[in-house]
Amino acid sequence: MDLLPHPSIIERRMDDQSVLARRAANRGIAQMHEDLAGLYREQLIAVLKR
């Protein structure tokens, strides 16, 4: 079963999280968005290796 979305969707989500990290009101929120961007990056790598 293929549960990962298309690479373009993952890349868009990763980019969105990076923008939100830059716009965050404080460092804690920024770190959360950076962590999410990192998770999307890992997903993108996994999808591209298939």
pLDDT in tens, 2-50: 678 899 999 999 999 999 999 999 999 999 999 999 999 999 999 999 8
45 is a domain residue: yes
> Do 21 and 34 form a contact (C-beta atoms < 8 A)?
yes
CA distance 44 to 2: 14
1 is a domain residue: no
Question: What's the total number of domains in the chain?
Answer: 1
- pTM of this prediction? 0.85
The residues, any chain, with a CB within 8 Å of residue 28's CB and separated by 6 or more, are none
40 is a domain residue: yes
35 is a domain residue: yes
Q: Which domain holds residue 27?
A: 7-49
> Do 36 and 18 form a contact (C-beta atoms < 8 A)?
no
44 is a domain residue: yes
Torsion of CA 37, 42, 43, 49, to 10 degrees: 150
29 is a domain residue: yes
